[in-house]
A and B are shown apart, each in its own frame.
Chain A
Amino acid sequence: MDLFSTFFNIPVLINSLPQLLSGLFVTVQIGITSIICGLIGGLFLAISRLYAPAFIQVLVRGYIDIFRSIPLLVLLIVVYYALPFVGVRLSPFFSAVTALTLVSAAYTAEIFRAGIEAIPHGQFEASAALGLSNRHTMVDVILPQAIRIVIPPLTNNCINVMKDTALASVVAMPDLLKQATQAQALSANPTPLIGAALIYLILLWPMVYVVARLEKRYSRGR
């Protein structure tokens, strides 16, 4: 009974719910913005990594390796607390989106590269023989096939980005986690944290389920 009123205190939960939902809204905003920017950036990085002049390829490789190695929390703190010293002052929202995008683009680039490289060479040759330009070869022939291959790993990456938005709470971003910790302090009861955990679950569990389905579907046949 005591346990229940400590962790699952309904009045406290109801009281904190508006705050949690406004946090959820911020979390989703950060997540979706970062996912979209990361996808676009990743696609450009992947194509540059494969087809750009050699020295740009080296730069892109360096970028990808660095941002896959650096811990996201460290990057976020550098962006938010260190960049102001060189005059770059980003709001908590843009700090979070910048850090998440930089890292997500690096992972997305590797996913796209693997997808493009998985397309049989004959597809490139057939396109070239027909006289298609590089752009049309990519847009009409290669990418539509590569997308099918990369959808499961891309969705997985989206889940990771969504989860990592919670780190934004350390730069005073009023996201779901931050709101939950504040509500917890206010009510002197951990129920809002449990509530936040449940909301994360409700948000992400369906995506995890979808990835599992996609992986099954795309591993079967083509």
Chain B
Amino acid sequence: MAAKEEREPLFSPKNIRLITNPINVDNPITKQVLGICSALAVTVKLEPAIVMAISVTAVLSVGNFIIALLRNSIPSRIRIIVQLVIIAALVILVDQILKAFAYDVSKQLSVFVGLIITNCIIMGRFEAFAMANKPWPSLLDGIGNGIGYGLILVIVAFFRELFGSGTVYGFQIIPDSFYNMGYVNNGLVILPPMALFAVATIIWVQRSRNKELIED
């Protein structure tokens, strides 16, 4: 995306694609296969998955924006360290703000907030996009990738919570009569490997619907 003579509109088709592509064809989890680690960790229940998705989107978009602002001044030899410092600072800020204004949510997320620092999507987008693009497209790219990541997280968490605990968002869905008839929650779904099966199924469905995504 080279510099242009005339200003392009804020929501030009190209910029819109920065948001929509990561949600579908360029999804960070199913296409770029980044961020698998947290997809395993926080998808046992729907609620932490949703808050995680929001937090990652916030950190990713603001971080992308800051990196893009600084991109011409960052010495290339220490760029990874600079990116890490910015991620860590933003995550600590998010954590502090949650603790002050949304204490219950922060209690629930506990260690997962710290885990955002190690989320490879963030480093990946900083390195691949924000270092080479202007702040505004970078911000959009961050939002798009955050939403794309969150979408998969929510889908996986929905199925894992439904089959693993019989609830959705904490509300009991599978009625007691089922349990009385001998239905048992599937304990296997709660264990991390099942998240991989779920992600793999999503990738399968997505690639069979869109042949372009299939690699040789």
A binds B: no
B positions within 8 Å CB-CB of A: none
A positions within 8 Å CB-CB of B: none
